[in-house]
Amino acid sequence: MAAMENPLLADSELPRFGAITPEHVEPALREVLDAHREQIAALTRVSKPSFASVVEPLEAMQHRLTRTWSPVSHLNSVVNSPALRDSYNLCLPLLSDFQTDLAQSEPLYRAYARVAEQESASLTSAQRRLLELALRDFRLAGVALPRERKQRYKEIMTELTQLGAKFEENVLDATKAWSYPVSDRAMLAGLNDSIIAQAEKRAREAGQQGWLLGLDQPTYVAVLTDAESAQLRQAFYEAWSTRASDRGPNAGRWDNGPLMEKILALRHEAARLLDFANFAELALATRMARNPADVRELLDQLGAAARPAAERELAELTKFAGVEKLAPWDVSFWAEKLQRKLFSVSQEELRPYFPLPRVLQGLFGLVGRLFKISIRERQNAPTWHQDARLFDIENAAGAPVGSFYLDLYARSDKRSGAWMDECRGRMAFGGNRVRPVAYLVCNFLPPADGHPALLTHDDVVTLFHEFGHGLHHMLTSVDYPSIAGINGVAWDAVELPSQFLENFAWQPEVLQQLASHWQSGAPLPAATQQQLIGTRCFHAGLATLRQLEFALFDFQLHAEYDPARGARVLETLNDVRSRIAVIQPPDWNRFPHSFSHIFAGGYAAGYYSYKWAEVLAADAFAAFEESGVFNGQTAQRFLDSILSRGGSRDPLEAFIEFRGRKPDIAPLLRQHGMAS
């Protein structure tokens, strides 16, 4: 196939989504990688390497690779098909081979080291930081290892990439494979109309009578929260919490158990090859947290503050339900009922007040006011699905800053959850001028029956979260792709902008801009709004302990791995739970088997990052509370110190510059009503 015909190789401003087919994937990637290998070989022969002659060309190459590959991995996530999945999987080893070769290239390592040594004084601080991170990553990739160990390290990395992809596939397949047919309408009591309508449609499409409930996230959450039928809730809990495991309705069919064993063993081996004691220590080499003790200290501090609150909350809930002990599939249901009694407001009842168009308008207005930008939809841009839309951002002077795609509705061929991903990164040096472009993806209920998509407040918070990541990516002022936007940012600091922006979705002044009844246009009644805000502290102790449970499980799994004993996934989980949890799930619960964050995503020995970043975010937001939430100067300082700086500076220094001191956990505890 000629290059000109391959849309993945086109030099267009944006990906030509309509034209990309699975057949384009492998040839495009091979062509880019081959060209890059040649270019890199030439770079390693440069006699006097400089920032401009070696580093900048490599930055441009990585940018080009991302530009080619990001539409592929994006499509694989949002319009998954067997053919695309095959092409994608076929390419993963090619990609990983290339990245590993690059990261393990001794000539390049020496060239970078030489630039750092000889040119340092004349470079900008961002350029020096780029070199510092690159040299660190070279060393972490094993560049200084003897040949055999290096080869082994490379094999491990390739295998881990494939195992991660397989893990995620198993979860997706297991989720799609299960559904629950209902013939008696009474069984659906408690569920909201949109979930029921969707189930009816699904049954019709499958040629069945009645209703067919899927295991997609919105349906799962709605069933566990609202369904009056304990039988239905139990069936969903069982199916969800045994996905891709040796237990439950599809036991053994997509079992991730053996994959977890392998993944943990390989990670440990990789860490040992680089002379770290375990994978957790290797992971921390690139983080804001300096060592395992830092991590445990934070988690312990939060655990100590949350535990009494969680015990109180559970006792109150059990009493409210009028039982001796709550079953795990009853907790959300009774919690919702209790919350409704205490606050007379439910997520489902809030939907009519959060029509998507209004929420977007409010969100765009907010970030526009804070960061002096404006956002406009670009009509007729090619996308991958009729529901996906493209928006452009302009600065106060009317100059284009970046763009983003929104793809917000749940579909069966789409990965669950919500995320922001890079489509194009910012690049501005030499003759290169590229503006950042982001993908923002959620899984909300689509519009139906003549009404727009109606969001829960949880959905609104999710949207703000992803938009925070998006701003980090799109408002970057850094010129080099490897440290622009979210690139080069320590994993445990990368959730700062996202969780920071979430805070605004809880502010009365902001809620007034977001909420308006989709039919009557009436604002959210003041009492309801007050109640909604009150829900933020509701069961904060239980929620915190749950997150700490995941974080400690993940960290301990990687920090205490012992090859002689194997992964001990369930033992570790039980150990953590016995120390920290106040709700003990049944022993057939297989939550780890679908814990993609740590087995298929980038959060290995890093789940603690959510709490770590939450502390940073709450503390940063406290600066806005102190000065007024729309304070332009505070926003400008946040933009200048943190948001626009990407990976171009040390995250702790950036935080201290903005806040005038080190992070403090008090604002987070206060936010959750757990301050002592």
The minimum distance between CB 117 and Zn ion, in angstroms, equals: 37
First to last CA, the chain: 67
> Any idea how long the chain is?
676
Q: Residue 56 or 495: which CB sits closer to Zn ion?
A: 495
- Give catalytic status of residue 23 as yes or no: no
CA dist 345 and 42 (Å) reads: 65
Q: Does 596 bind Zn ion (CB under 5 A)?
A: no
Query: Least CB distance from residue 614 to Zn ion, whole Å?
Result: 11
CB of 487 to Zn ion, least distance (A): 15
Nearer residue to Zn ion within complex by CB, 313 or 495:
495
Nearest residue (CB) to Zn ion, 56 versus 168: 168
In order of 15, 17, 151, 382, the CA distances from 12 in angstroms are: 7, 11, 38, 12
Nearer to Zn ion, 479 or 495 (CB): 495
667, two tokens? 């604002």
* Residues 531/229, Cβ–Cβ less than 8 Å: no
Residues 348, 466, 495, 614: which is the catalytic one?
A: 466
Q: How far is the CB of 304 from Zn ion (least distance, A)?
A: 26
CA atoms within 13 A on the CB side of 397: 3
- Comparing CB distances to Zn ion, the nearer of 243 and 469 is 469
- Residue 227 neighbours by CB under 8 Å, 6+ apart: 188, 189, 190, 191, 233, 236, 333
Name the minimum Å distance from CB 468 to Zn ion.
8
Give the nearer residue to Zn ion in terms of CB position, either 80 or 498: 498
With a CB cutoff of 8 Å and minimum separation 6, the contacts of 12 are none
Structure tokens that stand for 246 in this block? 């040796």
Backbone angles phi, psi at 667, to 5 degrees: -60, -35
569's tokens: 């996934």
Shortest Cβ distance from residue 16 to Zn ion (Å)? 29
**419 vs 630 by CB, closer to Zn ion:** 419
| CA dist., res. 35 & res. 61, Å (int) | 9
CB 533, min distance to Zn ion, A: 22
Stretch that binds Zn ion, among 4-12, 219-227, 425-433, 489-497 (CB under 5 A): 489-497
**Structural contact between residues 104 and 141, judged by C-beta atoms closer than 8 angstroms:** yes
- What residues from 604 to 633 belong to the interface with Zn ion (CB under 5 A)? none
Q: How many whole angstroms separate alpha carbon 106 and alpha carbon 103? A: 9
Residue ranges in 178-291 assigned as alpha helix (H):
193-205, 217-226, 230-241, 257-273, 279-284
516, burial (CB in 10 Å: exposed 0-12, middle 13-18, buried 19+): buried
Distance between CA 268 and CA 135 in Å, rounded?
22
Of 196-204, 241-249, 360-368, 492-500, which segment contacts Zn ion by CB under 5 A? Answer: 492-500
486 vs 582, which CB is nearer to Zn ion? 486
| Contacts with Zn ion, 445-484, as mask; x by CB under 5 A | ----------------------------------------
Q: Which stretch binds Zn ion (CB under 5 A): 118-126, 497-505, 545-553, 613-621?
A: 497-505
Among the candidate windows 322-330, 475-483, 498-506, 642-650, which touches Zn ion by CB under 5 A?
498-506
* Tokens found for residue 21: 């087919």
Q: Are 92 and 160 in contact (CB under 8 A)?
A: no
The sign one gets for the Cα dihedral 291, 292, 293, 299 is positive
Please report how close the Cβ of residue 95 comes to Zn ion at its closest, in angstroms: 23
Choose between 59 and 502: whose C-beta lies nearer to Zn ion.
Answer: 502
Q: What whole-number distance in Å separates Cα of residue 479 and Cα of residue 179? A: 48
Among 264, 128, 191, 207, CA closest to 554? 264
Selected range binding Zn ion among 354-362, 386-394, 488-496, 531-539, rule: CB under 5 A? 488-496
Choice between 510 and 617, CB closer to Zn ion = 617
Of 72-80, 204-212, 483-491, 494-502, which part binds Zn ion (CB under 5 A)? 494-502
Q: How many residues bind Zn ion (CB under 5 A)?
A: 2
Q: Which stretch binds Zn ion (CB under 5 A): 3-11, 232-240, 493-501, 619-627?
A: 493-501
Q: Give least dist CB 238 to Zn ion, A.
A: 29
Nearest residue to 331 via CA among 22, 545, 88, 34: 545
Sign for the CA dihedral angle at 156, 158, 163, 164 comes to: positive
Which two structure tokens, joined as six digits, stand for 496?
């700062």
Please report how close the Cβ of residue 347 comes to Zn ion at its closest, in angstroms. Answer: 20
Binding test (CB under 5 A) with Zn ion, winner from 347, 498, 544, 609: 498
DSSP-H helix ranges across 79-192: 82-103, 106-119, 125-140, 147-177
Mind telling me the catalytic residues?
A: 466
In the complex, the residues that contact Zn ion under the rule CB under 5 A are 495, 498
